[in-house]
Amino acid sequence: MTTPLTRRRVIGGIGAAGVGALAAPSLIRPASAQTSTLNVWSYSGFVTDEFRRKFEAETGITVNLRLVSDQGEQFNLMVAEGGRHSADIVCVAGHRFYQFVDAGLLEPVDLDRLSNWSQVEEEYAVAHWVSRRGRIWGVPLVVVTTGLIYNTEAMEAPESLAVMFDPANAGRTSYQIQDFFPLVMNYLGFDGSARAYAHDHAIAQRAVDATRDFLIEHKDKVRRYYDAATEVQQLLVNGDVTVAAGSSGPAAQLILDGFPAGYVIPREGGLAYAYGFNIAAGAANMDNAYTFLNALLASPENGAAIVRSTGFNSAIKGVEPLLSDAERAVLALSADERARLSWVDVETAAFIFDLIDTAAEEIRAA
Amino acid sequence: MTRLLVRARRLAVYRTAIDALSASPWLRALVVAVVPVLWVLVTNLAPLVQMVAISLLDRYPLPPGETAAWTTRHYRAFVERPLYLNAFTRSFVFATLVTALTLAVMFPVAYYLSKAAPRSWRVRLILLVVAPFWTSEIIRSFAWILMLANRGAVNSALMWLGLSDAPVEMLYSRFSLAVGVIYLSSLYMLLPLYAALEKIDDRLLEAAADLGARPLTRLRRIVLPLARDGIVVGCTLVFLLAVGLYAMPQLLGGPGDTLFAATIGQVFGRAGDSWPLGSAFSIILILAALGWVGLFAALVGRGGRRRVVR
């Protein structure tokens, strides 16, 4: 039997739908208040689909994943939430995490609840970018280095950052300003780590201003300032640039995909830092957060999967034997290159990156 | 429904309200206007007021329990740091040029659609022009990336035809940005122009032609003055859209094409308490854009009125 659609029924239906819509906010509880969910903010590839499926099936916890692409964006969103965080786990860069800790956005890790903490590589478990004020504040996940990515069919392996400012490469280079800036400071003879300027902001400002002016002067060499790792990959694959300053992850992925790319740490040096998962202060699903972190550290297979999806080295023990020869070869750096790397100084990072962020805005605006 | 109204009529409050509304057209207008006015106030004005308030704070966002002092230093930063002025000036010059180019490109299209195309085809042709706008700005930007990239469709065609030996670098330049923005904003110019041109009585143009007016004279003396409202509306919409563009310049523009909206986005994205600076820049952009459009409308409007008086 079919029910005839009359004007009265339509109006009644619309009215009921309207009442339902108005009542929806009180009927739908926020995800963060539920106990069978976990809200994770992460960079792409850090929570692999395979791990997520397995974790959800084994624990019954639903992972709500929100992809982030920028530390500043994540910081501002957390501060704006005024202590009632919608995320349980966030993904903070090692050199930025002091800023998050000092702003009260993170929860110290309770090692008694993190039974698989011993699966973190020892050199990273005790690193100064994991602890502050005698507490551990996150679980290191991947290690990133920054250097030069180049098209091997278009140029020889560059030895120096000078290649980025060579008139022969005008309009053929690309970089992410904030990541490249400390390297250029080193290239110009300043201290990119800002350790030397920690007690004198005026000197630091002059060094940053001089580097900013240098980069503005050489703006014609840049085809594009990129933001996400995938952008620099596209620029190289599309033939838009021949050399770019970038991190090890996108370079490794390009090489493994068969693109004629190379990755070097220039003689002026490169930076190293880590990304980890951190628990948001007062996380609504604290138990689920620990379940998630324990599950992640439980098997080196999870670390290997992250290596394959990001191209970054893993901070989890036992990952290397699980990688193929090609993957190991791409991820490995020579002893010389490793010696040229310096870890971002976490003590001065917030101070110098604050100046660099402003300089980056001005470089783009110029 | 009728039963409900009959029952309601028994209530004194209802009767008084209905009688008052029946007696006063002003009250009826007020009741009708309350919802839209509230909507405008809540959705448009409230965020702006909040942005003005944030722009006058020393720092924001604030950790729980902390307060900020009032200051105007973020407005002063706009003039004290000349590199920000570059992006601001570039935005206005770019938006003005794009508006003029969009008008130049879309006027003939609108004229064709409203005057030359067969009447039975007009709706179909307009739908054809509108069709690309069913997808988002981002998708259309990526479509242009695929077209203009070194290994994109345009370069492939140029090289296949033997017109170029190496890829012509078109992407990430002012050219690619202008092409993308004109494409993006063309609809906002086309529809007001079409509406204005369509209203012009064809007999006026025929009479002018019979009296010996050449096509250019007819365009200058009849079409343009009568399409003035459409031109003003179209230019206003396109200019305001172009001056505040964020995503497309990020995707199609080069390192020298950063517009002020992107600068504002970067300031907001900075880790820390820089929202007041971003808010101050936003307010400056809004006021300057409205001022610019107001000046344009006043100049064109005055010119049009003079012509009519003469």
Q: At what angle do helices B275-309 and B46-55 cross, to 10 degrees?
A: 120
Nearest to B262 among A11, A79, A364 (CB): A364
Q: Which has the closest alpha carbon to A143: A314, A278, A270?
A: A314
User: Do the Cβ atoms of A151 and A243 come closer than 8 Å?
Assistant: yes
Q: What is the pLDDT of residue B172?
A: 92
A293: which 2 tokens?
């972190």
Q: Tell me, what's the pLDDT at A26? A: 46
Looking at residue A27, what is its pLDDT?
A: 45
Query: Contact B151/A239, CB-based, under 8 Å?
Result: yes
The CA distance from B87 to the nearest CA of chain A, in Å, is 5
89-148 of A, contacting B, C-beta below 8 A = 96, 99, 103-104
Among B309, B308, B117, B123, smallest CA distance to B228 is for B308
| Residues in Cβ contact with B82 at an 8 Å cutoff, skipping those fewer than 6 apart | none
Tell me which residue of A320, A290, A302 sits closest to A116, measured CA to CA. Answer: A290
Strand blocks (E) in A176-225: 222-225
**Residue A13: per-residue pLDDT:** 60
DSSP 3-state assignment of A363? Answer: helix
**Is A88 in contact with A39 (CB distance < 8 Å)?**
yes
Partner B contacted by A8 (CB < 8 A): yes
Rounded to the nearest 10°, the torsion over CA B220, B221, B225, B226 is -110
pLDDT number for residue B108:
96
Query: CB neighbours (10 Å) of residue A30?
Result: 12
Residue B6 confidence (pLDDT) above 70:
yes
> Residue A153 carries which side chain, given as an amino acid letter?
E
Q: Which residues of A touch B258 (CB under 8 A)?
A: 364-365
How far away is chain A from the Cα of B12, in angstroms, using its nearest Cα? 26
Extended beta strands in chain B, E state: none
Give the least confident one: A182-186, B39-43, B96-100.
B39-43
Task: Give, in degrees to the nearest 5, the angle at Cα A50 between A44 and A51.
Answer: 80
Higher-scoring residue by pLDDT: B272, A275:
A275
pLDDT number for residue A167: 96
Nearest residue of B to residue A215, measured between CA atoms: B255
Q: Which amino acid is at B95?
A: A
Pick the residue from chain B with its C-alpha nearest to A364.
B258
d(CA A92, CA A41): 9
> Does the distance separating the beta carbons of A357 and B149 come in below 8 Å?
no
- The CA-based angle B229-B235-B134, given to 5 degrees, is 105
Q: What is the pLDDT of residue A129?
A: 79
Mean pLDDT for chain B overall: 90
CB contact under 8 A, A72 and B61: no
Nearest to B263 among A82, A219, A365 (CB): A365
Instruction: Provide the CB-side half-sphere exposure for A106 (13 A, CA).
Output: 30
Q: Touching check for B254 and chain A: CB below 8 Å?
A: yes
Dump the DSSP string for A23-34: HHHHHSPPGGG-
Mean pLDDT across B185-204: 95
**Residue A338, token pair as written in the block:** 């490793």
* pLDDT value of position A97: 83
Instruction: Indicate whether this complex's ipTM tops 0.85.
Output: no
What pLDDT, on the 0 to 100 scale, is given for residue A152?
96
State the DSSP code for B70. B
- Mutation site for B-interface testing, chosen from A79, A225, A353 by largest number of B Cβ within 10 Å: A79
**Cα angle for residues B47, B53, B54 (degrees, 5° grid):** 90
- Contact (CB, 8 A) for B70 and B58: yes
Nearest to A364 among B1, B61, B263 (CB): B263
Question: pLDDT of B251-264, one tens digit each?
Answer: 999 999 999 999 99
Among B146, B207, B205, residue whose Cα is nearest residue B171: B146
Per-residue pLDDT of chain A (366 residues; tens, 9 = 90+): 445 555 555 555 655 655 555 454 444 444 445 569 999 999 999 999 999 999 999 999 999 999 988 888 899 889 888 888 999 999 999 888 888 998 889 999 999 999 999 999 988 888 887 888 889 999 999 999 999 999 999 999 999 999 999 999 999 999 999 999 999 999 999 998 888 888 888 999 999 999 999 999 999 999 999 988 889 999 999 888 999 999 999 999 999 999 999 999 999 999 999 999 999 999 999 999 999 999 999 999 999 999 999 999 999 999 999 999 999 988 888 888 888 998 888 888 878 888 999 999 999 999
For residue B238, the model assigns a pLDDT of 96
Residue B308 scores a pLDDT above 50:
no
Q: Residue B27 is inside which H or E element, if any?
A: helix B25-40
Per the CB < 8 A criterion, the answer to whether A150 and A157 are in contact is yes
Which residue shows structure tokens 């193929």?
Answer: A324
Residues A308 and A321: their CA atoms lie apart, in Å, by 13
**Longest Cα separation, chain B:** 87
CA distances from B186 to B18, B95, B197 (A): 48, 13, 16
Give A219's contacts in chain B (Cβ within 8 Å). Answer: 255-256
Q: How far apart are CA B209 and CA B214, in angstroms?
A: 7
Angle A100-A105-A106 from CA coordinates, rounded to 5°: 85
Q: Among all residues of chain B, which has the CA nearest to that of A96?
A: B271
Q: Does any CB of chain A come closer than 8 Å to the CB of residue B197?
A: no
Return the C-alpha torsion angle B194, B197, B198, B203, nearest 10.
-160
Which tens digits make up the pLDDT trace of B113-150? Answer: 999 999 899 989 999 988 888 888 889 999 999 999 88
For chain A, domains (ranges, CATH) are 31-143+273-328 (3.40.190.10), 145-271+330-365 (3.40.190.10)
Q: Can you tell me the distance from the alpha carbon of A140 to that of A158, in angstroms, rounded to the nearest whole number?
A: 31
* Residue B172 at interface with chain A, using a CB cutoff of 8 Å: yes
Among A59, A132, A57, A35, CA closest to A293: A59
How many beta-carbon pairs under 8 angstroms link A with B?
91
- A132: which strand partners? A135
Instruction: Tell me which residue in A73, A99, A240 faces B149 most closely, judged by beta carbons.
Output: A240
What's the first-to-final CA gap in chain B, in angstroms?
Answer: 59
Distance CA B91, CA B240 (A): 11
Instruction: Write down all domains in chain B, each with its CATH number in brackets.
Output: 17-53 (no CATH), 82-309 (1.10.3720.10)
Other CB atoms within 10 A of residue A194 CB: 25
Tell me the C-alpha distance between A26 and A159, whole Å.
61
Residues 9-68 of A with CB under 8 A from B: 11
Query: Which of B64, B84, B151 minimises the CB distance to A238?
Result: B151
pLDDT at residue number B135: 87
